[in-house]
Every structure is written in C-alpha cells, then in structure tokens.
Amino acid sequence: MWHSATVRLSLGFVALAVFCLGIADLSITAHDPWHELGRLVQGLVQPDVSAVDDLWVALLRTLAFAFVGVGLGATAGFLLALVFHSRLVRGICAFVRAIHELFWALIFLQFFGLHPLTGVLAIALPYAGVFAKVFAEILEETDPLPERVLPAGSGRLSTLAFTRLSEAWPHLVSYTSYRLECGLRSSAVLGFVGMPTLGFYLESAFAQGHYDTVGALLLLFYALIASLRLWVRPLLVPVYLVVAPFCLGSGLPIVWSNVSRFFTEDIVPSPLRHGEGVSGLVGWLGDIMANEALPGIWQTLVLTQIALVLTGLLALALYPLVSRHFFQKRDFQRAFCQRLPFRQHLAVAKGHSTGSGRPGNRLAHLLGHGLLVIMRSTPEYLLAFILLQLWGPSMLPAVVALAIHNGGIIAHLVGRRSNEVRLRQDAPHGLERYAYELTPRLYGPFLALLFYRWEIIMRETAILGILGITTLGFYVDSAIQEIRFDRAMVLILITALLNIGVDVLARHLRARLRLRHTANCEP
C-alpha cells in the first residue's frame, strides 16, 4: 500500500490536516448554540413571506445582477479566449480570476459606491477570467480537420464560425449555464457587502433575530436555484439578457471625483504619498508582511488544509446517496425475484415502476438528492455567516461551511461518475460494495476533483475573513474600514499571488499523479 503515490499523498494531506487541527482555534463560543439552531429550524419550517417589503424586488435584483454579470463575463471571456495564445492575456486572466468577487466588490465600492456597476463588475471581471480559460480549453479541443478541408479563400470569420465555433457551441452553452448558477450564488452573497440582493436582507433579518424572515429568504433562494432549469430556456435567455440591465435598480449615483481620487491618492502607498521614498516603502511593506500578510497567509493555509480534508471525507461519505449502486429510484432486484406476470416484468425492464418497489428506497433517493442539492446550492459565505451566528466567532463555522458546500459538490460529481461504473452481477452489496468495488475505482477522479477544488477552497477561505475569522480577508476588510486602501490593495495582491501559487501546485500534483480532468469538471 505504501508503494502507491496516491495513498502516500492522501495520507500526507490527512496528517497535515490533523497537525493544523492542533493549532487552529475550533471552539464554540456562543452562549446557547442549540437554542439558536432550534430557532433557525423553526424559522425554516414556518417561514414568513410577508415580513420583508421588497422580497420580490430583492429576488429580481439578485437575478438581474447574475444575468448581467455572467452575460458580460461570458462575452468578454469568449473574446479573450480567441486570443488566449498570448502570454500576457493568460497572465491577466489568471490574476483577475484569483481575486474573489467579494474582494472586487470591496474595491469597486470605494469609488463607484453603491451603484449597480459595482455589483455587475464584481461578478463580470473574475468570471471573464474563468470563462476565458475554460472557453480557450474547449476551443483548443475541437477537431482541426474541417478547417483544412474548406476551400481556399473561405475567409477567416466564416471559417471560424463554421468549424471551431460550431463544434464548440454545445460545450460553451452548457458551461455558461452552469456558471449562471454560480452567478446566482455570487449575486446573493454580494448583498452582504451592500448590494441590494438577497444577502443584504438575510444579514439584516439575522441581525434583528427575525428567523422566520430568514427562513423565507433561504427557501426562496433554494427554490430559485432548484427551478433554474425550468425557466432558463434557450429561446428565453436573450429576452432575460435584454431585460436584466433595466432591473438592476438605480442605486446611488457615482461621484466621479471619488474615482480619480482613488486611483491617484488612495491606493498610492502612504510612504510614497508622504515623500519617504523607496526606503520608506520597503519598511512599510515589511510591516504589512510581518503583522498582517504572514499571519493571514498562515491562518488561511491552516484553515484550507483542514477544510480540504474534511471536504474529502464528507464527499466520500455522502456520494453513495446519489449513486445508483446504493439507492435506486426503482427496486429492480425485488421485482425480478417475485413472481410477476410477464407484462410487469417487461415494464420493470423498461424502467417503469411496478408499484412493488420499496417506497422507502425511492424516498431515500429523493432525500439524498435533495440534501446534496441544498449543500451545494448554499454559498459558503452564507453558510459560514449562519454558523457564525449560531456558534460564535472561531474557525469552526468556516471549516464546516467550506466542507458542507464543497463536499456537496464533489459528492454529487463522484456520485454521477459512479453511475457509469458497471459492476458484475455477483458483486457484494452494502459496505463491502462501497469499500471494495466502488471507492477504489472512483478514488482517482475523486482526487482530481478535490485538487481542482483546492484552489477554490483557498479563495473562499481568504474571503471568509470578512466575517471576522483572521484569514487574509479579515486584514483586507480591516484596512478598508480604517480607510487605508493602499494596505488593502497590497493585501489583495498577496491573496491573488497565494491563490495562483496554490493553483500551480494543485496542477503539478495532478500531473504527477497523472490524474486526468476534463473541461467538464467545474472549476
């Protein structure tokens, strides 16, 4: 077993996480956490839709920000993908997508203020970076042969449209629709920093202890994401895109002097502003590094490692819920063992329910799916916020929030992958099936997905600092609140570099273990 690089690496990560557990602060500091949890559950069971005046306006704004942000990001990303061979473009895209939407929102808030442009750009910019990379990968994987076969003089635009774009189009569309769901989550979370979306009303309802309103908002949000496929039809999307910019609301007007002041004064490092020259700058940078950046980086890494391993454990434990090897919609085995009339045998073979299937199995299947949908639809920021209210400030809410969200995503993907595995008919059932048949086969793809998510988990860990946990985001937020934007920008830059570093490391590890991933894996 020790000869396998995969096993050694996995155990190495677990050991690292256990070490980090020892040095992290994981205590529950709230006064009466179970009581608060009970009140929250009661609010979910008995939601009060009438409490918030602008509930439907908030919903509309959330949708509008998501559509406009993702639409702009996809368009810009597509244009960038066409020139992705340029190193400069690749570098800029990597940098732009390394900064989380919330950090971008914090930056834009400083000069655009509470104008819708803040929210739109905060989503559009990082998404453009992601779209550029994924679209470029999709375009690169298209067949080069049709282009060679075209007659000479066909024109570059016609050639591109008929060959690469036509072949890539279904993949581009499917990835964009996936990103729209992410955009809805980002849009809702932007409310926590002041945008008029769902997160804003959630925060105020929580602060006032109106758990019935919280329940209503949460249930509406889940309903929105769950019903996405119903109302996002290919023919309706252009309509939504045209209408969305008008539903953004007016916000507050932009004070343009703020913009010029931001770029000329606020982000210029203070030693340079006060004429202390390079030596002053070096000392200032050293001070930031020692007191804020390094502690922040350390806490971010510690938290990320624990969250990563917990995510992995949770995903491994939960993926059977959506795997047909454990929970099926229909109980085939029992139907065939019974003495059914031939007609009913045919019906079972065709996949129809005969009514003799165990209803418990169907219910378990639905519940399993539902649980994973909830786990992966809830933004980590929102989960961490709720858990912070319940358990008080410490690292525990952040770790659990990250593990729940990412564990749900990976469990869903691994479960779907497990449905493609064909077992022999006398394969064992239950725990042995899980331990001996399925998990060993799925461990490679599972690790690939986990490494893919590693960079995202790290990005979210940094952001959770805004909630008060002393990761990098905490120092960024403090710097902004102290109106020291120069420090904030340096810290954001450091966060971006850290993110890029982890991304490179993850890719290196995946290559070393030769784990393949496709463009369909959600980044």
Partner 1 sequence: MSTLVLTEAVADYGHQRVLGPLSLTLQRGERVALVGKSGAGKSSLLSVMHQHWRSRGAALMPQELGLVPSLSVFHNVYMGALATHPAWYNLVTLAKPFRRDVAAIRPLLARLSIDDKCWAMAGELSGGQRQRVAAARAIHQGGEVLLADEPVSALDGPQSETLMIELTQAYPTAVLAMHDVELALRFTDRVIGIADGGIALDAPSVRLTAQDLLPLY
Which chain residues interact with partner 1 by CB under 8 A?
143, 145-146, 148-155, 157-159, 161-163, 166-167, 169-170
Sign of CA dihedral 196, 202, 203, 204: positive
Among residues 464, 461, 456, which one has the least CA distance to residue 522?
456
Say how many C-beta atoms besides its own lie within 10 A of residue 233's C-beta: 10
Beta carbon nearer to partner 1, 149 or 235: 149
Query: What does the DSSP 8-state code read for residue 161?
Result: I
Query: 238 is written with which tokens?
Result: 């252009």
Helical pair 211-226 and 359-377, crossing angle rounded to 10 deg: 100
Beta carbon nearer to partner 1, 48 or 167: 167
Nearest distance, CB of residue 172 and partner 1, angstroms: 11
Beta carbon nearer to partner 1, 149 or 431: 149
Beta carbon nearer to partner 1, 110 or 163: 163
Nearest distance, CB of residue 332 and partner 1, angstroms: 30
Nearest distance, CB of residue 454 and partner 1, angstroms: 33
Nearest distance, CB of residue 107 and partner 1, angstroms: 39
In the chain the first and final C-alpha atoms are separated, in Å, by 31
Contacts 24+ apart (CB under 8 A), 87-95: 89/132, 90/133, 92/129, 93/128, 93/129, 93/132, 93/133, 94/129, 94/133, 94/500, 94/503, 95/129, 95/496, 95/500
Q: Cα 246 to chain center, whole Å?
A: 27
Beta carbon nearer to partner 1, 233 or 429: 233
Cβ 226 vs Cβ 371: under 8 Å: no
Query: 116 is written with which tokens?
Result: 């819708």
Nearest distance, CB of residue 148 and partner 1, angstroms: 7
Nearest distance, CB of residue 238 and partner 1, angstroms: 13
- Say how far apart CA 497 and CA 132 lie, in whole Å: 19
Nearest distance, CB of residue 135 and partner 1, angstroms: 16
Say how many C-beta atoms besides its own lie within 10 A of residue 272's C-beta: 14
Nearest distance, CB of residue 351 and partner 1, angstroms: 23
Beta carbon nearer to partner 1, 137 or 167: 167
Query: 461 is written with which tokens?
Result: 């860990």
Nearest distance, CB of residue 422 and partner 1, angstroms: 25
Contacts of 492 (CB under 8 A, 6+ apart): 99, 103, 107, 476
Beta carbon nearer to partner 1, 159 or 204: 159
Nearest distance, CB of residue 518 and partner 1, angstroms: 18
Nearest distance, CB of residue 239 and partner 1, angstroms: 17
Among residues 21, 29, 2, 143, which one has the least CA distance to residue 394?
29
- Say how far apart CA 77 and CA 139 lie, in whole Å: 12
Beta carbon nearer to partner 1, 166 or 291: 166
Beta carbon nearer to partner 1, 139 or 409: 139
Q: Where are the alpha helices (DSSP H) in 113-210?
A: 116-140, 145-149, 156-160, 166-190, 198-207
Say how many C-beta atoms besides its own lie within 10 A of residue 260's C-beta: 10
Beta carbon nearer to partner 1, 219 or 519: 519
Beta carbon nearer to partner 1, 97 or 171: 171
Among residues 135, 22, 23, which one has the least CA distance to residue 89?
135
Sign of CA dihedral 408, 12, 459, 79: negative
> With 0-12 CB in 10 A as exposed, 13-18 as middle and 19+ as buried, what is 32?
exposed
